[in-house]
């Protein structure tokens, strides 16, 4: 049992380092927090946390190795992910100036922000995480190189639950911080240009994803 604890600590540490590294998930939550507010950002975070379960599931089933070893499968995944990020980025680039007194970026008619519902925000987070091939490679490497193959599937599943929960908590905290009135107001002083900058960032991440390799 003690060996499982030592293994768990290694898994938790490796995951934490990867989690706090800026990437598409962080960029999406930052954008949602500042431009749309706390509620959409939190539901986006829930979607990202749920996406971790998908990665854990196919890693346990060995399907992730197929993606890693198949150039076609990897390229399909990365192009879907890149296209999705580019689509969000282009929407952000088209942001209109804020309506007077509006607390967020104007994306609808007359600069009135269109706040997505819980389902739309959840799907945004889930797809951003699920379609990232770099996350796929991380989990495949974690379950094939860090976690002992002889570790019971139940224990490996618990590792996965831990990573999903920590991911959710981390991004909810990010949401709470960046959607705080003072923090949000500081970002929004530059008006709709913040949204456009985030559009450039997301497009850049999409291009980076498109150029990713399975190495």
Short-list 177, 175, 167, CA closest to 130: 167
Low-confidence ranges of the chain (pLDDT < 70): 1-2, 64-68, 95-113, 191-192, 214-215
State the total domains in the chain.
1
User: Taking CA 67 as the corner, what is the angle to CA 64 and CA 73, rounded to the nearest 5 degrees?
Assistant: 150
Residue at 178 is within a domain = yes
pLDDT in the model for residue 64: 66
Residue at 17 is within a domain = no
pLDDT in the model for residue 113: 56
Q: Please, are residues 191 and 68 in contact by the beta-carbon 8 Å criterion?
A: no
pLDDT in the model for residue 164: 96
Enclosing domain of residue 110:
32-210
Residue at 18 is within a domain = no
pLDDT in the model for residue 116: 76
Residue at 148 is within a domain = yes
At 150-166, the pLDDT tens digits run 889 899 999 999 999 99
pLDDT in the model for residue 160: 94
Q: Tokens at residue 109, please?
A: 């008619």
Short-list 75, 210, 202, 78, CA closest to 135: 78
Phi-psi region of 110 (alpha: psi -120 to 50; beta: other; left: phi over 0): left
Does this model's pTM top 0.85? My answer is no
Residue at 11 is within a domain = no
pLDDT in the model for residue 184: 87
Residue at 27 is within a domain = no
Place of tokens 């974690």: 142
Q: What is the DSSP string of 71-99?
A: HHHHHHHHHHHHHHHHHHHHHHHTPBPPP
């Amino acid at each position: 049992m003690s060996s499982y604890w030592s293994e768990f600590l290694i898994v938790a540490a490796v995951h934490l380092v990867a989690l706090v590294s800026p990437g598409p998930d962080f960029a999406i939550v930052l954008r949602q927090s500042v431009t749309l507010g706390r509620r959409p950002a939190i539901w986006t975070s829930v979607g990202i946390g749920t996406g971790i379960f998908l990665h854990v599931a196919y890693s346990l089933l060995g399907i992730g190795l197929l993606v890693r070893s198949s150039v076609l499968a990897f390229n399909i995944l990365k192009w879907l992910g890149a296209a999705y990020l580019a689509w969000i980025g282009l929407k952000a680039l088209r942001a209109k100036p804020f309506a007077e007194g509006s607390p967020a970026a104007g994306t609808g008619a007359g600069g009135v922000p269109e706040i997505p519902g819980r389902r739309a925000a959840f799907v945004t987070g889930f797809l951003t995480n699920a379609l990232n091939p770099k996350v796929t490679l991380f989990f495949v490497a974690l379950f094939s190189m860090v976690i002992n193959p002889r570790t019971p599937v139940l224990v490996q599943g618990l590792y996965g639950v831990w990573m999903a929960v920590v991911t959710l908590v981390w991004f909810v905290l990010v949401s709470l911080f960046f959607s705080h009135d003072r923090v949000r107001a500081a970002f929004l002083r530059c008006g709709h240009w913040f949204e456009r900058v985030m559009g450039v960032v997301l497009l850049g991440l999409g291009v980076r994803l498109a150029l990713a390799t399975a190495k």
